[in-house]
């Protein structure tokens, strides 16, 4: 006969085993993410950025310029690692062990892969006619790598580490502007490194823009939506149409117009972007209704992604 004590012990054992499995799952995701980010970043730099002679901002740009101009063209992976080592040590001290370890492993992997790619003859894609293509490709690939690292709680090194330290110490600092200034200074220097040519500078800004947009999209996910705030005299009828036709919830609050002094209903509704045209068709039935739209970067909860 199984006693209550034995049942409780068995339950605790199952819960512990489940917890261990979840921990193992998280470890696998972490390891896979670090490897993926390292591989993606190495391909972006080695195959698209370096062979097309332009230098995106930050440490990547410095490494690219050093490979291009130093005798023998030593692999940019060596410079990428050498410059990031002191930054990772500083991150270990001022930011945290997890951040530093995750970032350090990914940077080490990227650098090692770039050296390995050179030895095995991994393909590169130098473009002579339309160099904007490798800038866009390098930005897309690099942005994906950055986003993966940020999701894992690390970074791609370089100015990201410096910015994180500054943000931690001075939370009110405009870190985005600070990163842009650091990256831009590297890009400006590339003008002189690549023979006083404006083309590498323009390509660098294209790469930086593509990278930031891709990283932003991945970090926010594809969960963006539209929030409507609607001032109406027909809250019940309008809400019912939204329920039945758009399958979305509505929240109503009472609002007062300060010019007229009248109280009216304000409906708040969050919709997917693809539902915009349907929503406009519903609003056309209520010409005295006033509505405005604002974008939301991410939506979680019932009716959307959990």
Task: Among 86-95, 158-167, 254-263, name the one with the lowest average pLDDT.
Answer: 158-167
pLDDT > 90 in the chain, percent: 14
Is 213 a residue whose pLDDT tops 70?
A: yes
Residue 282: pLDDT band with limits 50, 70, 90: confident
Tell me what the mean pLDDT of segment 187-215 comes to: 88
Q: What is the DSSP string of the chain?
A: ---HHHHHHHHHHHHHHHHHHHHHHHHHHHHHHHHHHHHHHHHIIIIIIGGGT---SHHHHHHHHHHHHSTT---HHHHHHHHHHHHHHHHHHHT-HHHHHHHHHHHHHHHHHHHHHHHHT------SS-THHHHHHHHHHHHHHHHHHHHHT---STHHHHHHHHHHH-TTS-HHHHHHHHHHHHHHHHHHHTTS-HHHHHHHHHHHHHHHHHHHHHHHTT--EEEEEEEES-HHHHHHHIIIII----EEEEEE-TTT--EEEEEEEEE-GGGHHHHHHHHTT-TT-EEEEEEES--BSTTSB-
User: Is the model's pLDDT at 116 over the cut of 90?
Assistant: yes
Q: What is the pLDDT of residue 175?
A: 61
pLDDT higher than threshold 70 for residue 297:
no
The CA-atom distances, in angstroms, between 153 and each of 36, 74, 118, 299 are 14, 31, 30, 21
The pLDDT mean for the chain works out to 82
Query: Residue 109: which pLDDT band, with cuts at 50, 70 and 90?
Result: very high
Contacts 24+ apart (CB under 8 A), 244-247: 245/278, 245/282, 246/271, 246/275, 246/278, 246/279, 246/282, 247/303
Q: Average the pLDDT over 202-215 and give the result.
A: 89
Q: What are the structural domains of the chain?
A: 10-220 (no CATH), 225-296 (3.30.70.120)
| For the ranges 105-119, 203-217, 247-261, the one whose mean pLDDT is highest | 105-119
More confidently predicted of 80 and 156: 80
Query: What pLDDT score was predicted for residue 176?
Result: 64
Given this model, what pLDDT does residue 128 score? 79
pTM of the model: 0.70
CA distance 95 to 133: 37
pLDDT bin (cut points 50, 70, 90) of residue 281 is: confident
* pLDDT tens per residue across span 119-172: 998 998 888 778 889 999 999 998 898 888 888 888 887 777 877 777 676 665
Mean pLDDT, range 4-33, rounded to an integer: 62
């Amino acid at each position: 006969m199984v006693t209550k004590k034995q049942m409780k012990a068995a339950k605790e054992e199952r819960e512990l085993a489940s917890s261990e499995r979840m921990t193992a799952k998280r470890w696998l995701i972490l390891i896979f993410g670090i490897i993926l980010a390292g591989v993606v970043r190495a391909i972006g730099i080695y195959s698209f950025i370096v062979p097309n002679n332009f230098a995106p901002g930050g440490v990547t740009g410095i490494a690219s310029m050093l490979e291009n101009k130093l005798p023998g063209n030593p692999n940019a992976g060596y410079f990428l690692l050498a410059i990031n080592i002191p930054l990772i040590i500083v991150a270990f001290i001022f930011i945290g062990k997890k951040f530093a370890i995750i970032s350090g492993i990914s940077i080490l992997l990227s650098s090692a892969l770039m050296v390995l790619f050179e030895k095995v003859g991994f393909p590169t894609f130098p473009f002579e006619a339309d160099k904007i293509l490798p800038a866009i490709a390098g930005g897309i690939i690099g942005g994906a790598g950055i986003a993966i690292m940020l999701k894992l709680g690390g970074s791609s090194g370089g100015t990201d580490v410096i910015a994180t330290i500054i943000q931690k110490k001075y939370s009110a600092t405009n870190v985005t502007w600070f990163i842009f200034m650091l990256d831009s200074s590297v890009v400006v220097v590339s003008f002189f490194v690549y023979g006083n040519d404006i083309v590498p500078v323009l390509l660098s800004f294209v790469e930086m823009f593509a990278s930031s947009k891709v990283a932003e999209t991945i970090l926010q996910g594809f969960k963006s939506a539209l929030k409507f705030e609607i001032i109406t005299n027909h809250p019940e009828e309008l809400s019912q149409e939204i329920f039945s036709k758009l399958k979305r919830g509505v929240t109503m609050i009472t609002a007062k117009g300060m010019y007229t002094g009248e109280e009216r209903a304000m409906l708040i509704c969050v919709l997917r972007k693809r539902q915009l045209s349907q929503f406009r068709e519903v609003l056309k039935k209520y010409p005295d209704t006033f509505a405005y739209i604002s974008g939301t970067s991410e939506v979680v909860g019932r009716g959307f992604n959990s």
